Structure formats: C-alpha cells, structure tokens
Structure 1
Amino acid sequence: MSEHPPFAVTVDLAVFTIRDGVFSVLLVERGGEPFAGSWALPGGFVEADEDAETAAWRELREETGVDRFEGHLEQLRTYSAPDRDPRMRVVSVAHVAFAPDLPEPEAGSDAAGARWWAVDDLLAGGVDAPSLAFDHEEILRDARERVRAKLEYTTLAREFVAEPFTLPELRRVYAAVWGTPPDLGGFRRKVLGTDGFVVATDTHGSSAAGGRPALLYRRGTATDVQPPMLRPPAAAS
C-alpha cells in the first residue's frame, strides 16, 4: 500500500487575445460546486490517458466551444498549494495561450457561461469585475506578467495580429499588453532592425485620416529580440 495519499492533476488556461484594442482573457462561469456561479479560468482534470497539453485543449473546447487554434501555447508553472481546491489535494499545470481574432465563446457542458474580460479590469478590482475562483487570480497575474515579459525579449507580439499587418497594428499590441505604448522611434528601430522580426510585403493597407497608406508585413523567422525592447517605466511598474 502506498504511503502517499492520492491527489489529482488539473490544467488551467489563461487564454489571451486583443479585442477592440483591449487585452482580454477568456473566463467561464462555473456551473457546479465548488464555487458554483463564480468566474474562473477554463480548465479541468487530466484524464489517465492524456498529457497536460492534450487535456488543456480538450477542456478549452468542452467549456468554451473554442477549438484548437493557430497561436501560441506554453506551460506557465505548476500550482500546488495544499488547500487550493476544497475537494481534495489538486495540483494544476497552468498554461498561457494567445492568438488574434479568437471567437466569442459559448458555454459548454461544464460551464454556465463564458466570455472575454478585460485583464486589467479583473486584476485592478474594477466595479463590475468578479472575484475569481480557486487561486485563479494568482494564475492570471502570473500569466499576464509572463506575456508582458515575453514581448520584451521575443517576437511573440506578432501572434496577436493577423497577417498581413501594419507596424501601427503591431505597436498597438504592445500598448494593450503593457498598458502603455513603446516609444515610436525605438519600436520602429527594434522591429525593422531585428533581422527576421517582420518581412515587408509589396502591398499597402488603407490610409488613416487621409495619410499615407501603411506598408503591410508578415511574420519573419526570428524568435528572439536582443537586446530586449524594454517596457516603458509606467508599464514596468
């Protein structure tokens, strides 16, 4: 007989996109106990024949109707506080995902509702912002910081925009995620001066307010930005 008590493994997903210029995260309204009626990150138990990533995609589909998408998914960290779930000892492998133009979710069989929420409203305790179930506020804070940091030293900001895109559209990703835009001159030098960050096309987008049409770009093959594009002081704080 094992000397160790049984415990369960779950996955939780912080799924981000930008909607109408706002950095947003997908939440579900829990349909059952514990925390029935509370909002939470989508997730659930890992089945015996699954790895964590497979379970993450399955739970996302079952709870929100959002299927596997072309975008970025990575493990965030493991959350294992003994009292994080009132049912039993539960260890969660949290993931971060983000992509452009993700659809409106539809509540699945395990959820009473599903919708996008403004990340900063949730974490600032806005008037209409709900308290999150379990330790999901901690997970969300960690996930937001992971994405903010990765935009400094990688090219993953491109995953938030659909191709082809303009440099102003890409810069708005940084503004939405960081809460303040990067310096315009420094941004252009970093993006255009990093080999493979973006690849120019031979077409232009529509002009804004009668100005010169902006050149359209596609994602390049570069993955790292060195030296990093550091957040403005206001965003870093």
Structure 2
Amino acid sequence: MNALILDTMWFLNSTARRLRLNPALLTHRPPEPARLESLLRQYDPGLKVSDGWFVANGTRVCWVEVTEGVAAKAGIPADRRGAVIASNGNKHAARFVLNALASRIGGALYPPEIQDDYVDVQVNLGPKRGVLDCEEVAGLVRAVLGERTVRHDHELGMCSFEGGPGSVVKASYSWPTSDLMDPEDHVIDLELDAKDLAGHPGLELLYRTAVSLATALNATVTSYDMPVTRLEDIIPTQDRLSA
C-alpha cells in the first residue's frame, strides 16, 4: 500500500515530477553547476538563464540533487544523487544536449533508449572558405583511413568516401549549395556506428582522422556542436542503465 501511495504521489514533488516528465542524465553525485554552465556555453555562446533553467539553443537544462526518497518517487535507480534534466518540445533536441553532456561529464542517460549508438564528429571548414575539390578532400581522408571510393552528388552539395569491407569510419564532405542554407554546413563528417562504442577501436581512428583533417585545412573539430580537443570528448558514457 505504501509503495502504491508513493508511486501515485510523485507529482507533488517538483524534482520527481521533472524527472518523470523529461529525459535526464543521472549521476552518482550532484553535478557541478559551474562545470555544467561552462559546457553549455560551449554548445550555445548565447546561453541564457530563466526561472532556474539554463536555456541553450532552445533547450531548457537544469541540474538537481536527488535524495533516495526522490529517486523512489521518480522511479530512477536509488544510487543516483544528481541529475541534469533537459526539457524541449522537440525530444530530439533534448536527447542531443544530454548525449553531448554525457560524453564530457559521465553519468547514465535516462530513459536508457535515448543514448545514441553512434559517434558523429564534424571538421568545420567555415562559411568563408570556398568549396574544396572532392578529390583533394579524398586524398586527405585516404591518408588516415586508407583507400576510399568517391561518390559524388554535387546537386545536393555532398561527396561520400566509401571504404571497403571492414571499414568502420564513415566519411563525407558537404557544403551549402545556396544562400538559403546555413553557411556553417560546410563540413567533413566522420561517423562510427556500433552498439558497444565505449571501447571501440574505431574511436581512436576517427579522432586521429578528424585531427589530421583539421590540421591540414586549418579547421575546427566539433561533436554535438561542442568543441572536441581530446579523444575523451567523443567517447560515449560507459555508465549505462538496463533498458
């Protein structure tokens, strides 16, 4: 009976209510507010604060301390003592922010199905640079990833570099084809898909490729719209809840 009452009265606790209604990153200790704010400012330099929430590119983010009682009301694991909660009418946007934070501060994504099973890294060439020759980019990609076949789709503003059997890192180059497109969409995209990414050997290869391309082209590297300066920035959290 007590358990039933506890389960039906969660809405009276504001923290439990937020955790029940929004996706979150669950941590074993309360998040450090300054660290969270610093990371969110990397994601959105125009970060705002409103009613106790950070607002980053339209997604509301807050951190909370979690007691054992709150964990029970919220239906989350009892050993969690902190959470970063993301709220956005667009569930994909909230998921995007939480996956970005998870790679950098750890913790378990909740519900567990919001954890991405891929790593996506962009080498950002910038809006002022002219379109590069696809074969030039292919040569830089081959220098690290080995032989690649170039597939051109210039009408869409894209070239993909396909590897042979056993190739794990996907690579493509895209650029804006009209003034209506975002000029920031001038990137070399590197992607790795796998179920168990945390210890995947392809992660280091992907990172080395991104650094090599960025060095050769005087470009920057990002993942989830946040700067990548070390391999650890792209390693998915190993703290994962059972589905």
Q: TM-score per shorter chain, which class?
A: under 0.3
User: TM-score w.r.t. structure 1 length?
Assistant: 0.24
The structure with the larger Rg is 2
Q: Determine which structure has the larger helix proportion and give its number.
A: 2
TM-score by length of 2: 0.23
